[in-house]
Amino acid sequence: MDARRKLFVFVASILLLLCLVFVMIVKKQRSNISGSNTEFPQASTVESFPIPSVQNKRYQVKEFSIIMGAKKFSNKQIGDHKQLYAGYVNKRNEIDTALQTADRTTGNNISYSQFRGLKLAETFTRNAAILHELYFENIGMGTTMGKATEEIIIKHFGSVAAFKEDLMATALSARGWVLTSYNLDDKRVQNYLLDAHNEKVPVLTIPLLVVDTYEHAYMIDFGINRKEYLAVLWDNINWDVVEKRVKEWIYRS
Ligand code: FE
């Protein structure tokens, strides 16, 4: 009897062990299956975004034929400034290219992420390039203010003298740019102050006249004398360009 009982216990133990092994194998397989069907995609699968592929060098460095009057900026001042502008255009292209393949799974607004850095630089270089283009377009040998521009300035500032006073005060207070802009919402024309290419930029406004107030715009010729730079700049505003912008943006809307 003892031998039969021992045999029975042995066989039962083996069967129980086999059952346990079987249950464990089934559980493991189920776990693997449910893991691969998780609701949220794995990081490695988040890599396709509907961004059209574009060729490098989307943005081109523009040429400006700036003909100065009697009071003028030196060729060195203008030349160095143009080189700085070209650098912004090149960086804009570089950032545009980098953003096409940037890792969008690691965005971080608290500290650092490569994607955040690229998005910040995207606005910075875009504004830097475009503002310099608008600036270089509206300087040169000073022309007479056009009738449409004069009318708009008197309407919104009272007189050309009052406009100039406000423009100069704003330019002496700005660290980056001054924009005489047309507001698309309330239809006013105002002088706006920007402390950097991407700081304090007013929305829903169209620049009509752009003044670069960064030191690099005048240090070679005027040292730290911004007032003298602004006086020469005023005499060299190409009002024909401003008139064209006024007619395009104000009189057509
Ligand atoms: Fe500049």
The neighbourhood of ligand 1, an ion, using CB within 5 A, equals 212, 214, 217
Measured in residues, the chain has a length of: 253
- Checking if the pLDDT of 12 tops 80, the result is no
CA 229 to chain centre: 28
Query: Cα(182) to centroid of ligand 1, in Å?
Result: 22
- pTM for the model stands at 0.77
**Phi, psi angles (nearest 5°) of residue 158:** 100, -40
What pLDDT is stored for residue 65 in this prediction?
81
- Checking if the pLDDT of 43 tops 60, the result is no
**Average pLDDT for the chain:** 85
Query: Cα(82) to centroid of ligand 1, in Å?
Result: 8
Query: Cα(220) to centroid of ligand 1, in Å?
Result: 13
Domain ranges of the chain: 147-249
Query: Cα(196) to centroid of ligand 1, in Å?
Result: 10
Query: Cα(51) to centroid of ligand 1, in Å?
Result: 31
pLDDT band at 68 (very low <50, low <70, confident <90, very high): confident
Least reliable range by pLDDT among 10-14, 58-62, 185-189: 10-14
Task: Confirm or reject CATH 3.55.40.20 for domain 147-249, answering yes or no.
Answer: yes
What pLDDT is stored for residue 180 in this prediction?
98
- Checking if the pLDDT of 44 tops 70, the result is no
CA geometry: angle 212, 216, 217, nearest 5 deg = 40
What pLDDT is stored for residue 236 in this prediction?
94
